[in-house]
Every structure is written in structure tokens, then in C-alpha cells.
Amino acid sequence: MLDPMLIEAQPKGYNYEEAKVPKYNLPDPLVCLDGSKVKDADDWVKKRRPEVVRMFEDEVYGRSPGKPKAMRFEIVEKEADALGGKAMRKQIVIHLGKGEKALAVNLLLYLPKKAKGPVPGFLTVNFLGNHTTNKDPAIRIPTSWVRNGNGTKNNKATAAGRGERASRWAIDSIVSRGYAFGTIYYGDIDPDFHDGYENGIHPLFPPKNPKKRKPTDWASIAGWAWGLSRGLDYLETEADVDAKRIAVMGHSRLGKTSLWAGASDERFALVISNNSGCGGAALSRRQFGETVKRINTSFPHWFCDNYKKYNDKEDECPVDQHMLIALSAPRPVYVASAEGDRWADPNGEFLSALGAEPVYQLFGHTFGASKQPPVNKPVQGRIGYHVRTGKHDVTSFDWEQYLNFADKHLR
């Protein structure tokens, strides 16, 4: 039975009953805009996939710029004997742009010491600063915007937060299993409040008319995803990392980010969404838990302005989130839910993964599930999925599944 404490934790006034899910029809990922049907994998790659990417750019996340010309990497710290001798630690500053608006994005990287060659790895994005992912006293503390209760005040991160989110990252286990672990603080890329896109990454790419943004201009989720791609740019220069075997992973709003990063940058070899919910892995048309209107109202800076057209009109959107997951095909993708996280619609996340399977089948891959599996019973085909006990969080159980999935697909 679901813990009543978890039930009470969900925002009131929203639907949490399957019987109240409206009837809906999902857009067919295999039907092109001209009405033709995708026949095979080549048809998907050359014709349909570019259509779906453009629809998500124009209607949901916004159009992002390409790789910047003004970018350089600076290794600011290196330690050959980190994590009790298990790892090498590197801290890299990714310098973006020039002048007053230049941005410094900090990448923390741990590499297994016993590796005999370039290793696969996980590139993640975190909420409160790289120093919160591990108690390692050498991790640099961010000087950029940091979150507080309402997400608007520019607090200063301090050493008191060191390691406070370590339970979410399983760094020792990741390194012990032979993987590199990299993480970027999302506030280094873009502040998570509606600042009119005047801070973070957006001022480096101002609109042609500075007084008027286009409804397809990129917003914060696209900005964070773009920042992850810059992290991958660095990993391509790192001799101890196999940049062709990198999994991108995020939780909650950063799970939405990892899905879009994997969709928009096919260099990521594996994509992981942890409890990403509305605007991430969950089907919007189900109107279960968080809705498009609610997310656009509470977080108007996350999605492009066009997405607001679909407040209370989810059926009119030309895409739904199963098509976002399908954009990772044929690369492996993992979607994880939590039983107590009804706000993120666990069943809707599963159904979204299931709705992506027809695209994977074009490449000869299957999901391996036709209905939501029992709690704590993962399914790991080319699409991976589990719903675990507990709440909106990242746990050791989640990471055990991600590592098993990576062993299967990245080794």
C-alpha cells in the first residue's frame, strides 16, 4: 500500500486517479507530416526524426544555438589520489563567450584509477553545486546563482553544503564499477528563475531584436541541455574517457533536461531520465499530476513561449513525450519512476516509454514490457524502466539499475 505520507505530499487540486484520465489519442511517431508512414529505420533517420526534433524545438523547448566559437577548457585542479585512492579527480572550467557576459561552467570529473584504457562514463547535472555531490573537501564551491526556497534570491553557496546530496550520486559505486563520473552545476549554466533571460547562457546568444524574443527561442531546459553538450565537448578531449560511451543523466527538471540533451545531441550514447514527469518522460495528454498549464505557470522560463499555447489544450500539441523518448533511438534509454511520486505520473512515464517502442522496433530493438512492471522489478531491453518504492528522489536502487543498464549497453 502506498504510504499516506507520500499521498499527502502531492499538490492538491490535481488529478491522481486513473479513472479521471481523459480519453486521448497520441500522435503517431511513425506518421510524417505529409501523411506518409515511416517504412524503416532509414526513413526514420532521414525524414521523420528531423521533423520530430523541429516540432519539439518549435513547440516545447525552443531552438538552441550550435557549438560556440568562443569556448575553451581550463583544468584548474587535478588530484591523482582521490576518493581514498580509488579515483583521479579533475576540475575543469568551461569558459564560454567573451567580455562581461562570459560564463564559467564548472565540471567535476572522477576517473577510476585502475582503468587500463579510456573508460565509459556518466555526465550528470546537479541542483545545488558540485560540492554537494560528495564530501570531498577539495571540490570547488560555486560562485554563481544558487537555489533557495523560492528560487529567486542569489544566495551564496558555502562549505556547509558539502556532501549534502551525496546520497543521490553513488560516486563511489560508479567509479568502483569502472565508470567515470562527471557533473555540472546547473546554476553555472542558467539561473533557475524567470529573469527575462538576462543572466546565464542566454545573453551570449541575444535575439536579433533584443526587445522581442521569438516564441521559438530557447529557454532554461534547453540551456541546461546545451550546457551538458559543452561538457561532452570537453570529454572528447579527455584521453582517459571514451567520449563515445557517455550516458547523460538527470533528476526531476534535470531529467527533462537529460532527455532533451539526448534527443538534441546524438553523441550521448545512453540517456537516463529519473522522475522527470511533466515536460519530461510523462505523457502530457493524461493530465495526471502536474499539467502543462501548471508547469508553464509556475516555471515560465523552462520552455519556449510557444508551449504556453497548450495550457489546457494538450491534445492540440503536435507532439507528446513518447516522441521525445523515441528521439534517442536506437540508443538505449532508461526511464525511472517512484511509486510515491504521483505528481510525476509514474504510469504516464511508463506509457510514454512504451509509446516509443515502435521507433526502436525499426532498428530491431524491443522494450520487453507491455504493461507497467511491478514495483522494484526493472525491465531492461533497449528501453529500460522501473518504478521503485519511495518518493521523488534518486536512490542507490536507481543507480544500481543504471549501472546494470550501462554494463549491458556501454561495455
- Calpha distance 52→58 (Å, rounded): 10
pLDDT digits over 224-245, tens only?
999 999 999 999 999 999 999 9
What's the number of CA atoms in the CB half-sphere (13 Å) around residue 309? 15
Q: Give the pLDDT of residue 1.
A: 46
Calculate mean pLDDT across residues 183-199: 96
Burial readout 70-85 (b: 16 or more C-beta within 10 A, e: otherwise): eeeeeeeeeeeebbee
Q: Read off the DSSP letter of residue 30.
A: T
Calculate mean pLDDT across residues 338-347: 98
pLDDT digits over 48-59, tens only?
999 999 999 999
- Calpha distance 407→180 (Å, rounded): 13
Q: Which strand (E) or helix (H) includes residue 55?
A: helix 49-56
- Residue 6 scores a pLDDT above 60: no
- Residue 211 scores a pLDDT above 50: yes
- Calpha distance 32→83 (Å, rounded): 51
Q: Read off the DSSP letter of residue 302.
A: S
151 pLDDT tier (thresholds 50, 70, 90): very low
Which residue among the candidates 229, 252, 284, 337 is catalytic per the annotation? 252
Q: Is 252 a catalytic residue?
A: yes
**Domain extents in the chain:** 18-410
Calculate mean pLDDT across residues 176-182: 98
Residues 6+ apart with CB under 8 A from 8: none
- Residue 18 scores a pLDDT above 70: yes
What count of residues does the chain have?
411
Q: Give the pLDDT of residue 155.
A: 75
- Residue 150 scores a pLDDT above 50: no
- Ramachandran angles phi, psi of 90, nearest 5°: -130, 145
- Residue 149 scores a pLDDT above 70: no
Bond prior to 330 in cis (omega within 30° of 0): yes
Which three-class secondary structure state does DSSP give residue 219?
A: coil
- Ramachandran angles phi, psi of 109, nearest 5°: -135, 125
Q: Give the pLDDT of residue 209.
A: 79
Tell me how many degrees the CA angle 114-119-123 measures, rounded to the nearest 5: 120
Calculate mean pLDDT across residues 192-213: 90
Q: What pTM, to 2 d.p., does this model score? A: 0.96
- Residue 97 scores a pLDDT above 90: yes
- Residue 195 scores a pLDDT above 50: yes
pLDDT digits over 110-139, tens only?
999 989 999 999 999 999 999 999 999 999
Calculate mean pLDDT across residues 246-273: 98
Q: Give the pLDDT of residue 212.
A: 87
- Residue 7 scores a pLDDT above 60: no
| 3-state secondary structure string across 324-352 | HHHCCCCCCEEEEEECCCHHHCHHHHHHH
Calculate mean pLDDT across residues 196-203: 94
Helix count and strand count (H, E) for the chain:
11, 10
Q: Is 396 a catalytic residue?
A: no
pLDDT digits over 266-280, tens only?
999 999 999 999 999
Mean pLDDT, the chain, rounded, equals 95
Burial readout 175-194 (b: 16 or more C-beta within 10 A, e: otherwise): bebbbbbbbbbbbbbbbbbe
- Residue 408 scores a pLDDT above 70: yes
Picking from 270, 383, 405, the residue whose alpha carbon sits closest to that of residue 335 is 383
Picking from 329, 307, 333, the residue whose alpha carbon sits closest to that of residue 57 is 307
pLDDT digits over 59-89, tens only?
999 999 999 999 999 999 999 999 999 999 9
Which three-class secondary structure state does DSSP give residue 228?
A: helix
Q: What's the one-letter identity of residue 392? A: H
pLDDT digits over 289-339, tens only?
999 999 999 999 999 999 999 999 999 999 999 999 999 999 999 999 999
- Calpha distance 330→328 (Å, rounded): 6
212 compared with 383, residue with greater pLDDT? 383
Task: Output the CA–CA distances (angstroms, integers) from residue 206 to 65, 197, 209, 258, 262, in the order listed.
Answer: 10, 9, 8, 24, 25
Under 8 Å between Cβ of 182 and 122: yes
- Residue 106 scores a pLDDT above 80: yes
- What percent of the chain shows pLDDT beyond 90? 91
- Calpha distance 1→7 (Å, rounded): 11
Q: Which strand (E) or helix (H) includes residue 255?
A: helix 253-264
Q: Give the pLDDT of residue 180.
A: 98
Q: Give the pLDDT of residue 207.
A: 84
Calculate mean pLDDT across residues 247-264: 98
- Calpha distance 128→369 (Å, rounded): 35
**Residue 331 corresponds to which cell in the numbers above?**
540508443
CATH architecture group of domain 18-410: 3-Layer(aba) Sandwich (3.40)
4 compared with 50, residue with greater pLDDT? 50
Q: Give the pLDDT of residue 154.
A: 57
Picking from 64, 67, 56, 409, the residue whose alpha carbon sits closest to that of residue 247 is 409
- Residue 40 scores a pLDDT above 50: yes
